[in-house]
């Protein structure tokens, strides 16, 4: 999860990713930032995020993003 937080902080350093639970709903991450985030996650964690998984519920907190990554890693 530490590497995920680093990636998120590079995209928007003004957010406390350890506590924020409204990254999408609170507009901390916009659509372009999410696309960049997905690219970084896919490269770093060697997973593919299907378009069906690109929903606000999966990106509203670092914890939810980490759960998505973990689930995708297990499916490999």
The per-residue pLDDT for range 53-67, each reduced to its tens digit, is: 999 999 999 999 999
Check: CB of residue 59 under 8 Å from CB of residue 23: yes
DSSP state, 14? T
Three-point CA angle 47, 61, 70, nearest 5°: 30
In the chain, % of residues over pLDDT 70: 100
Q: How confident is the model at residue 76 (pLDDT cuts 50, 70, 90)?
A: confident
Q: Classify 30 as helix, strand or coil.
A: coil
Q: Report the chain's mean pLDDT, rounded to a whole number.
A: 96
- Which of the listed CATH numbers 3.30.390.50, 1.10.1200.10, 3.40.50.150, 1.10.10.10 matches domain 2-11+20-75? 1.10.1200.10
Q: What is the pTM of this model?
A: 0.95
Three-state secondary structure call for residue 72: helix
CA distance linking residue 53 with residue 50, whole number of Å? 5
Q: How many CA atoms lie within 13 A of 15 on its CB side?
A: 23
């Amino acid at each position: 999860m530490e590497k995920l937080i680093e990636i998120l902080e590079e995209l928007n350093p003004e957010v406390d990713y350890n506590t924020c639970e409204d990254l999408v709903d609170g507009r901390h991450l916009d659509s372009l930032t999410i696309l960049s985030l997905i690219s970084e996650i896919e490269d770093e964690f060697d997973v593919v995020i299907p378009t069906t998984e690109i929903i606000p519920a999966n990106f509203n907190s670092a914890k939810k993003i980490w759960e998505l990554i973990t689930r995708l890693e297990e499916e490999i």
